[in-house]
Amino acid sequence: MSEVFESKIKHFSAIFFVSKREKVLDYYSKIGFCCDYEMGFVEREGLMMIFHESEEADAIVPNYPVHGENAVNVYAMVEGIDNLYAEFKSKGALFQYELRTNNFQMKEFAIKDPQGYTVGFGESLV
């Protein structure tokens, strides 16, 4: 009889190094994320990112432009992508790429923060 292990991963947090943490947190706060300035956390509906300040410029390595326009740092599946896109646009979000339909039957867009990190959002069309 095999042993059964019960567990549950409750949420996911990506960790990024930035040179100006407060500026990055201000950006995410402006577009609708909850921010903890003391800890460097930003969160919205289960998507959590943590930003640590680094004095080493080499430690700040967003996926774009090194790996191309589609290389986001975090990708979140959502419901109501048209509404989320409209909300971010109305709040002045910076876009890596605008709302589009990709070859995998996903409607998606990606935002970028002042440090260059990108977050993609997608909704399945099937």
- DSSP letter for each residue of 12-55: EEEEEEES-HHHHHHHHHHTT-EEETTTTEEEETTEEEEEEE-S
Asked if residue 110 belongs to a domain, the reply is yes
pLDDT per residue rounded down to tens, the chain (126 residues): 688 888 888 888 999 999 999 999 999 999 999 999 999 999 999 899 999 999 887 778 888 777 777 889 999 999 999 999 999 999 999 999 999 999 999 999 999 999 999 999 999 999
Q: Please indicate, yes or no, if residue 58 is contained in any of the structural domains.
A: yes
In a domain, 61, yes or no: yes
pTM above 0.95, yes or no: no
Residue 103 covered by a domain: yes
Q: Looking at residue 75, which CATH number applies to its domain?
A: 3.10.180.10
Per the structure, the complete domain to which residue 30 belongs is given by: 12-124
Asked, for residue 30, whether it belongs to a domain, the answer is yes
The number of distinct structural domains making up the chain is: 1
